[in-house]
């Protein structure tokens, strides 16, 4: 406060603002520290404030359709053996947990797509992954069903195989199919809600 010549309340407000953006973290009894993942908040784009979740989910799928197939191409080119082994492990864990009542498969689905973003080697994509995560969260929370779960497992297998085989165009096609299947299911749910 002395160095910047501001009051303590101004300093506290600035710290609060930086904490909300995940730039700083306050540890009780210890002090204030720079975050390990600075600048990446849980909801950096404010999706939690959008009331029409069905429209938001549909719009996020449109963005994913633009981004993720191209990211899958990069992943096929740039992946390492360790990354593809880990992707396959997470894919298997999704298959094991997808029909359980807990939320583990939601978290694993987010991890699956995050690994592919990381495989791409595109630093910007790692900052856009909250778009994908929010889409997955909304879709799984409100609109998923047994058919979409089965299609997810099949699509994930195709994506893994294409990336493992370093086949970028098959990776793109598999990711497009995955997102298109989810979009079709979402559209069916939209029609059901309109007539309910």
Q: pLDDT by residue (tens digit) across 94-130?
A: 998 887 766 778 888 988 999 999 999 998 987 788 8
Residue 66 Cα to chain centre, angstroms:
14
Q: pLDDT by residue (tens digit) across 148-170?
A: 778 889 999 999 999 999 999 99
Rounded CA gap, 35 and 125, in Å? 20
pLDDT range class, residue 196, cuts 50, 70, 90:
low
Rounded CA gap, 21 and 134, in Å? 17
What angle, 0 to 180 degrees and rounded to 10, lies between the N-to-C axes of helices 53-78 and 123-138? 140
Question: Mean of the pLDDT values across residues 25-45?
Answer: 72
Q: Is the model's pLDDT at 28 over the cut of 70?
A: yes
Q: What is the per-residue burial (b if ≥16 Cβ within 10 Å, else e) of 9-28?
A: eeeeeeeeebeeebbbbeee
């Amino acid at each position: 406060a002395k160095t910047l010549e501001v009051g303590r309340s101004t300093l506290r407000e600035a710290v609060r603002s930086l904490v909300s953006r995940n730039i700083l973290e306050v540890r009780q009894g210890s002090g204030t520290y720079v975050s390990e993942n600075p600048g990446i908040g849980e909801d950096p784009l404010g999706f939690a404030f959008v009331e029409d979740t069905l429209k938001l989910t549909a719009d996020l799928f449109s963005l994913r359709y633009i981004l993720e197939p191209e990211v899958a191409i990069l992943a096929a080119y740039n992946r390492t053996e360790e990354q593809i082994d880990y992707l396959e492990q997470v894919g298997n864990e999704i298959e094991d947990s997808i029909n359980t009542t807990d939320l583990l498969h939601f978290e694993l689905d987010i991890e699956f797509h995050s690994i592919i973003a990381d495989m791409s080697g595109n630093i910007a994509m790692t900052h856009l992954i909250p778009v994908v995560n929010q889409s997955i969260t909304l879709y799984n929370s409100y609109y998923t069903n047994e058919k979409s779960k089965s299609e997810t497992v099949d699509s994930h297998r195709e994506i893994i195989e294409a990336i493992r085989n370093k086949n970028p165009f098959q990776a793109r096609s598999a990711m497009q199919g995955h997102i298109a299947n989810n979009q079709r299911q979402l559209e069916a749910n939209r029609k059901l809600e309109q007539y309910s």
